[in-house]
Structure 1
């Protein structure tokens, strides 16, 4: 519902970003750069009324998640993506999995809710990783 401002004009509520949406936008902008860039460069390309400190906070969070790298203590600090949006989602999935005590149960449950297309894609990707690869499929019986 719209609220009425002091001058009688209607105020449109600001839409909150979804969880991780701003991180994905920052990664996308970083992905456009041909070399490491500073936070001001990222801010300029993001637009949308964000503050410099918000951009620094997001870059710092992405650095903690190992999705971006940063230069050393010299100024200005330069940022570069390690992972794209898909890579960030994969990092999140991996962190969630690492927190679980029964990894087999979590992975089994995950696979059981995949669409047939996604399950086939996952099988194909695992097969491509080849035998001897640490993530290659084993000779486990089918479920």
Structure 2
């Protein structure tokens, strides 16, 4: 199970890889620990409905206001949630990396490093303005 914390630009701040049997709360708590260890400027975090009160309480320890973005019950079908869509967009962009499409790695740390490796490629393309990966350019 891969979980990401991204900034408003969609850049990965922290990535957590856990076994599929782990609950979303464990991932949320690990993400908050990682974000708080790296950045002391984060004041607000948006999370989906999979995260519960334990994550909100854990965020308060670091001074991070964790807001659970709930879906409008009147909406039918797929409706992107404001601001939270940035995480889904980043997940989609990272899926262009062949090693992240399937879980080939045996160790969780290796899988986590692949996320950052793929994000480095995304950031380099954004900085250079390249529209195609270098292997596709003819």
Greater strand content: 2
Scaled by the length of structure 2, the TM-score of the pair is: 0.32
Greater helix content: 1
> Rg bigger for which structure?
1
Scaled by the length of structure 1, the TM-score of the pair is: 0.31
